[in-house]
Amino acid sequence: MDIKIRQWKIEDAESMAEVLNNKKIMDNLRDGLPYPYTADDAREYINFLFNSDKNSTFAFAVVYGEKVVGCLGVFRQDNVSYRAAEMGYYIGEPYWNKGIATCAIKQACDYVFKNTDIIRIYAEPFARNKASCRVLEKAGFTCEGTLRSNVVKNGIIEDSKIYAVIKV
Ligand SMILES: CC(C)(COP(=O)(O)OP(=O)(O)OC[C@H]1O[C@@H](n2cnc3c(N)ncnc32)[C@H](O)[C@@H]1OP(=O)(O)O)[C@@H](O)C(=O)NCCC(=O)NCCS
């Protein structure tokens, strides 16, 4: 399957907005994104990425064939966790269940482990997000536990899971 990750280009803003302007995706992400999500919002975010610390923020467009279908970011933590990084991702709904996220996550982890001193990449999907938990398992992450009543999303208290992969 022709799946690649690459740096963002400002011309990707329309594609990013097309993917992200979806309540089913937003309901599985942290709060703070505007909804509806417009191409202007995407341009602002891509510009923010251009100006972010290249040693701490690793943000990739997920490309399927020639089309940008998703977004994946690995964000270094600080203080004593400075060699750990949190990962977030989403794929456009028309492209779900084709193995795209699994493939993109593997590529991003390989990149980060090869090119940085990061030794741990983790993700915290909401416990109800079975697709995300499954993707992480398929990409080689280990479930380290349940974070009980860890989040409030859309007014509902929820558990999340913590998954991690360690550099070997
Ligand atoms: C989670 C997400 C990134 C997965 O992307 P994807 O490209 O469809 O993932 P993949 O195709 O690589 O794998 C999906 C797996 O989840 C499984 N799955 C999907 N829905 C499921 C469900 N409701 N219950 C159980 N498993 C499910 C699929 O069957 C597949 O597993 P399989 O290969 O063993 O059959 C995508 O659904 C998404 O963007 N969701 C909204 C945003 C989000 O949740 N982001 C992650 C926040 S932590």
Span 11-37, pLDDT tens digits:
999 999 999 999 999 999 999 999 999
Domain ranges of the chain: 3-119
Q: Are 3 and 64 in contact (CB under 8 A)?
A: yes
Residue 119: what pLDDT? 98
CA 104 – ligand 1 centroid, Å: 12
Give residue ranges with CB within 6 A of ligand 1.
Answer: 25, 28-29, 89-91, 96-102, 123, 125, 129-132, 134-135
**Distance between CA 139 and CA 17 in Å, rounded?**
26
What percent of the chain lies above the pLDDT cut of 70?
A: 100
Average pLDDT of the residues in 134-150: 98
> At residue 114, does pLDDT exceed 80?
yes
Distances (CA, A) of 15 to 63, 64, 137, 162: 10, 12, 28, 30
Average pLDDT of the residues in 151-162: 98
CA 56 – ligand 1 centroid, Å: 26
CA 74 – ligand 1 centroid, Å: 18
CA 136 – ligand 1 centroid, Å: 9
Residue 56: what pLDDT? 98
> At residue 156, does pLDDT exceed 80?
yes
Pocket test for ligand 1, best of 96, 129, 163 (most atoms within 8 A of CB): 96
**Distance between CA 145 and CA 131 in Å, rounded?**
17
Domain with residues 3-119, CATH architecture: 3-Layer(aba) Sandwich (3.40)
> At residue 1, does pLDDT exceed 80?
no
- Ligand 1 atom 31, closest CA: 134
Average pLDDT of the residues in 28-57: 97
Peptide bond into 36 cis (omega under 30): yes
Quick one: residue 73, left, alpha or beta (phi over 0 = left, psi -120 to 50 = alpha)?
A: beta
Work out the mean pLDDT of the chain and round it to a whole number. 98
